[in-house]
Amino acid sequence: MAVRVCSVSSPPGGVLPRCDVYYLSGLVFTARDRGLARLAAGVDPCGGCLEGLAMYHCGPIVVRRGGGWVVVSAGPTTSARMARETVEAARRLGVRMVIGKGGLGGLEAVLEELGSVYLVFPGGAGSLAARAVKRVEAVYWLEELGPAEAVWLLRVEGFGPLFPVTSSGAGMGRGSRAQPCSRGG
């Protein structure tokens, strides 16, 4: 097993070794059901600022502090229910990485065709994810959608562990010897 660190701007391409663990640094945006539906429909909240970034299936818990926002918890949300919208948003935005929980409803292969990779963040580790968030850069659709469904643009450092999942399901615990992978930067 190798531990790899990478940035959002230069993610590893192709199929990732399933026994590697990744930690990510750079800009990541959150996407849950309602915000993701808008992105998939082509609604751009910020004039292209999300293009080429990593998408994280997450509805963070945030608090206002000192005129800004602080992420208290940022655990992943189940990705399978948002699979089709995820693929469409990834296509429209040129998303290089999608991070979530569980499988992607069999659409991992479509992401691979788009040149994107799917990685999972362990469920139940929201405080670990929050520690990697160094700053909230922006929030979109907060008034309309509320904090959990809004799209948050986050600067992260050492965000992980992230484990790659391939179209064959490798890395998802299928089989008795599935190994984790992580991604970072």
Tell me, what CATH number does 102's domain have?
3.20.130.10
Q: Is 10 part of any domain?
A: no
Mean pLDDT along residues 150-175: 78
Query: What is the tally of structural domains in the chain?
Result: 1
Q: Is 54 part of any domain?
A: yes
Q: How are beta strands 54-56 and 21-30 bridged, if at all?
A: parallel
Residue 60 belongs to what domain range?
A: 31-156
Q: Is 24 part of any domain?
A: no
Q: Is 171 part of any domain?
A: no
Q: Is 181 part of any domain?
A: no
Q: Is 161 part of any domain?
A: no
Q: Which residue type does 32 have?
A: R
pLDDT at 112 (0 to 100): 86
Mean pLDDT along residues 136-165: 96
Phi, psi at 38, each rounded to 5°: -65, -45
Q: Is 6 part of any domain?
A: no
Rounded Cα gap, residues 33 and 17, in angstroms: 29
Rounded Cα gap, residues 167 and 107, in angstroms: 7
Q: Is 104 part of any domain?
A: yes
Confidence at 169, pLDDT banded by 50, 70, 90: low
Mean pLDDT, the chain, integer: 85
pLDDT digits over 64-73, tens only?
A: 999 999 999 9
Which are the contacts of 72, defined by CB distance < 8 A and separation ≥ 6?
60, 61, 62, 63, 127, 130
Confidence at 3, pLDDT banded by 50, 70, 90: low
